Amino acid sequence: MSATNTVFVGMSSEDVERIATALENTHGGSQITTFDTPESIAEHLEDRPPDCIVSEYEFSGMDGTELLEIVRNEHPHLPFIFFTASGDDAVANSAFADRVTDYLPKDTADRQFERIAERISEMAKQSKVEKERKQQSSERKHELSLFERVQEIASIGAWNYDVQADEGTLTEKVYDIYGVPRDESLSAQKSFSFFDEQDQSAIRDAFERAVTDGEPYDLNLSVTGADGTNRQVRAQGDPQIEDGTVVSVQGTIQDVTEQADRQRELQLLQQSIDNADVPITLADPTQEDLPLVYVNEAYEELTGYSADEALGRNCRFLQGEDTDPAKVATLREAI
């Protein structure tokens, strides 16, 4: 076991040394820090909470419960042991009422320092496990927050369907896309009802094949949410298979309405350019000699050159022997 970080307060140097020796002999040692008063430990606790605190009950004319109160205000679960020659059952009961972790009276037994070393080691181990759990929990919360932020930015909702339990879990963005309040139940079958009539059979069949045959799907469909909003969505499902059996299906649903609208606008623009009555060409300024990368039908009709013949060439190939260089220069300057 790795060395424990133990703080001793108000204890004699002899007791601290004997406990440290017991820890060294049986539990891999201990990083020792000693303090004389409750006030002196407060700053240390803030900077670096130890794995365990061991304190006298009475020292320097003070009551150890003062220290216990300081510790519990900032660290409710930090292991705290009273190891004292003073006190009785009433004192012990009072200490436990104040949330001390353990109360060990000093005695003349040969193994008393070994016993407290064992308690320190045991509690320190539990403390480290708790710290690791909290750290992992904090990291998971951070990852979840980041994941939720990504979902919000990309308008993506995630879900998981447990095949055996016939239960699903959803992120909040899924509810938003379907226009359903987040406190309502939303099963897979209910979600299918929001897809437009012409798309419902496609999504149902795809989901069923994912569950029964382990077949993934990736579909672009339309939904009309409970709030009446029509959305274009990308629905994906990815079966999770163990020992040849589909145990769950994980998936996403993404609101791609804006992308679909932009795509339609681009298609309309493309059609307008293709069908324009005037010749239109596009050249690539990033390539040497500005090769043509697009010509419309009007260009082909006017020049007699097909797109295959024109693309990849500079428009100079249209210039004949009688071309006036001055006029070409004027055109170039105007462009």
Q: Per-residue pLDDT tens for 87-142?
A: 667 777 777 887 888 888 887 566 788 888 888 888 878 877 877 777 777 666 66
- Find, among 203, 215, 202, 201, the residue nearest to 249 by Cα: 215
CA distances from 31 to 19, 53, 71, 120 (A): 12, 12, 19, 12
Supply the pLDDT for residue 89: 72
Residue 87 DSSP SS3 = coil
**CA nearest to 239, candidates 231, 229, 251, 249:** 249
Could you give phi then psi for residue 296, rounded to 5 degrees?
-95, 180
| CA distances in angstroms from 155 to 196, 202, 236, 322, 324, listed in the order given | 20, 22, 14, 59, 57
How far does CA 232 lie from the centroid of its chain? 26
Q: Which of 6-15, 85-94, 261-270 has the lowest mean pLDDT?
A: 85-94
Fold of 4-135: Rossmann fold (3.40.50)
Could you give the CA distance from residue 128 to residue 125 in angstroms, rounded to a whole number?
Answer: 5
Q: What is the pLDDT of residues 160-205, one digit of tens each?
A: 999 998 988 888 899 999 999 988 989 999 999 999 999 999 999 9
Q: Which of 60, 95, 75, 61 is nearest to 7 (CA)?
A: 75
Strand partners for 84: 105
pLDDT tens digits for 231-256? 999 999 999 999 999 999 999 999 99
pTM of the model: 0.45
Pairing mode, strands 156-162 and 167-170: antiparallel
Interacting residues of 334 by C-beta distance below 8 A, sequence separation 6+: none
Strand residue runs (E) in the chain? 4-9, 30-35, 52-55, 58-59, 62-63, 80-84, 102-105, 156-162, 167-170, 217-224, 230-242, 245-255, 281-283, 292-295
Identify which of 190, 128, 202, 124 has the alpha carbon closest to the alpha carbon of residue 161: 190
Give CATH superfamily name and number for 155-260.
PAS domain (3.30.450.20)
Residue ranges of alpha helices (H) inside 214-286 are: 257-274
pLDDT at 74: 83
Residue 180 token pair: 């359903």
Q: Give the mean pLDDT of the chain.
A: 84
Domain boundaries, given as residue ranges, for the chain: 4-135, 155-260, 276-334
The reply to whether 155-260 and 276-334 are identical in fold is yes
Question: Given pLDDT bands bounded at 50, 70 and 90, which one contains residue 211?
Answer: very high
Question: What percentage of the chain carries pLDDT values higher than 90?
Answer: 32
**Residues 203, 208, 209, 211: is their CA dihedral positive or negative?**
positive
CA distance 10 to 17: 13
Does the pLDDT value for residue 36 go beyond 90?
no
**CA separation for the pair 56, 193 (Å, rounded):** 69
Cβ–Cβ under 8 Å, residues 157 and 104: no
Given a contact cutoff of 8 angstroms between Cβ atoms, the answer to whether 104 and 83 are in contact is yes
In the prediction, which pLDDT does 237 show? 95
Return the residue matching tokens 């069923």: 208
CA 150 to chain centre: 9
How far is it, in rounded angstroms, from Cα 308 to Cα 136? 61
Q: Which CATH class is domain 276-334?
A: alpha beta
DSSP letter (8 states) at residue 290:
-
